[in-house]
Amino acid sequence: MNSALDRLKNLTNKISSYEKVRKDNLSELRILFKDIGICEKVDLFEDIFEFKAINLSGASLLEESLGEIKKGKYLQILAIAYDKEASVKSKNISLGYYGKSENVDKELKDKIVEFIIRYRFEKSFMTLEHYNGMLSTFKKNEDE
């Protein structure tokens, strides 16, 4: 019995830890939204989550080379908008253009990379919530 209680406590701690990390992440993401100028292209912070994805050109987002500059490329944040009613379903929208990668200030480049990672972190939580909601439609009615 005690081990079941311990497992429950551990699970509860892990969940509350994720919620705190998520809350802190959103707070930092909101600051970066302004710092790197995304607010000039997207009026409301919450609207960035309407994009299907946000990508980066000109610097690596791979774990083993995170933030490494791609020489000869331009540092740019690209959002993918999706409109199921349009004839062309998705389109790329530039949220930030910063010039040649190798000429961008390191601090700014790091903030841009951090923004993308923090955005993806939050977007993954939103995806989990979405699919969790969809799964609830498959739960059997206990009265049946």
Q: Is the dihedral of CA 112, 69, 101, 57 positive or negative?
A: negative
What is the model's pLDDT at position 87? 72
Q: How many CB atoms lie within 10 A of CB 92?
A: 11
CB 115 within 8 A of CB 29: yes
Residues in CB range of 106: below 8 A, 6 or more apart: none
List the chain residues with pLDDT less than 50: 142-143
What is the model's pLDDT at position 24? 94
In the structure, how many helices (H) and strands (E) does the chain have?
A: 2, 3
What's the token pair of residue 49? 């989550």
What is the model's pLDDT at position 143? 44
Residues in CB range of 68: below 8 A, 6 or more apart: 59, 60
What's the token pair of residue 36? 């790197």
